[in-house]
Chains A and B, each alone.
Chain A
Amino acid sequence: MSEFVDYQLKVNGVFHDVADAWLGESLLYVLRERLGLPGSKNACIQGECGSCSVLLDGKLVCSCLVLAASALDCDIVTVEGLCPEDDGLSDIQAAFLAEGGVQCGFCTPGFIVSVHDLLSRNPEPTDLEVREAVSGNLCRCTGYGRILAAVRSVQQARRQ
């Protein structure tokens, strides 16, 4: 049996061919280097920073800790899959910009996925629930206050 194989992954509703890939590759590596989806960021590759967060069968996970080949037959959603199709921004992305929740921007895709996950499960989170939901995402620019404000503004806008 070869250690380099072809397989398919379903990402953002579309089947992608992963060709001649080493079976030890993480999902993060395959997304970025093989499938041309660089939205998920590569920082720590040990699950500490959350910048590679994706949804795997609807569950928020760090794609660096998923063996890509084990995600066969799974529904994978990356930050690219959360944008509207017309290339605009989602309401969460727009709120991050409007509230100053983005500075260097490296952690932002991971936060967008985590906040999307939170608000789709719990449209009215308390402050503590928001903090807990993003506790696996590190940001070294904003101090988090403006990120929390962005979440709050999405929550309020969706209420109307």
Chain B
Amino acid sequence: MEHTAELHHDDGSAVKEIWKVTGILSLLTIVELVLGFYMMGVENPGGRLAIKGTIVILMIAKAFYIVGYFMHLKHELKNLIMTIVVPLALFIWFITAFLYEGNSYKNLRNRYDPYKKAQTEIKVHKTEEVKEIKTTVE
């Protein structure tokens, strides 16, 4: 009995928290979309990279709110939080190493395989592309 009484006492604030987090997630998504639309007009590579970085930070913030509040991890015991979060820290190495590797592979190939580099620089005309689609569909 005591247990249910405690739950009912907590009821209003828990529901309020759910709606608050819903608002935050929607807001973050809208900001991401606004940045996505804004990026379409940005040509400067540095500017594009900065916007992409901001979008990734917003993505991590969304992940934090989903895991922390919707999946309730923030309200669990610290031991449990640590057994979940600490292994996931491997992703820091995982992402850094592999993206660095991909970029390095691109640079090395462009440097030592000029034929391949020239092949990837040939522009295809738009009209040709349309014809190509039609033939593959038919």
Indicate whether A and B interact: no
